[in-house]
């Protein structure tokens, strides 16, 4: 059975330091950017995310890239 994958969406989330709680635990602030160009490479996304992170008041801790894909079997498409 053949399966096709169709890209539905891409996002990048920047996680930044946001101080320390009263109990001493590090706080993290996340900023999520949607509608990432499907043609963007990992290097493009990293460069852009790093640039965006440099504009923030907090230190950039990590960059998370996510994709949502629709998986369909060819049997479901054959009507």
d(CA 64, CA 53): 12
Q: Give the separation between CA 67 and CA 54, rounded to whole angstroms.
A: 24
Is the Cβ–Cβ distance between 12 and 64 less than 8 Å?
yes
Q: Please provide the distance, in angstroms rounded to a whole number, between the alpha carbons at the two ends of the chain.
A: 16
Instruction: Retrieve residue 31's tokens.
Output: 């900023």
Give the pLDDT score at 1. 78
Domain ranges of the chain: 1-35
pLDDT for 23-76, tens place per residue?
A: 999 999 999 999 999 899 999 999 999 999 999 989 999 999 999 999 999 875
Which pLDDT band, with edges at 50, 70 and 90, does 78 fall under?
low
Query: How many beta carbons lie within 10 A of that of residue 14, not counting itself?
Result: 20
Q: Is the pTM here over 0.95, yes or no?
A: no
Enter the tokens of residue 48: 């852009």
């Amino acid at each position: 059975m053949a399966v096709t994958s169709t890209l539905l969406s891409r996002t990048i989330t920047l996680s930044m330091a946001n101080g320390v709680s009263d109990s001493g635990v590090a706080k993290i602030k996340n900023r999520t950017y949607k509608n990432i160009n499907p043609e963007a490479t990992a290097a493009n996304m990293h460069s852009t995310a790093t640039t965006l992170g440099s504009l923030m008041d907090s230190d950039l801790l990590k960059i998370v890239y996510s994709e949502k894909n629709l998986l369909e079997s060819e049997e479901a498409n054959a009507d």
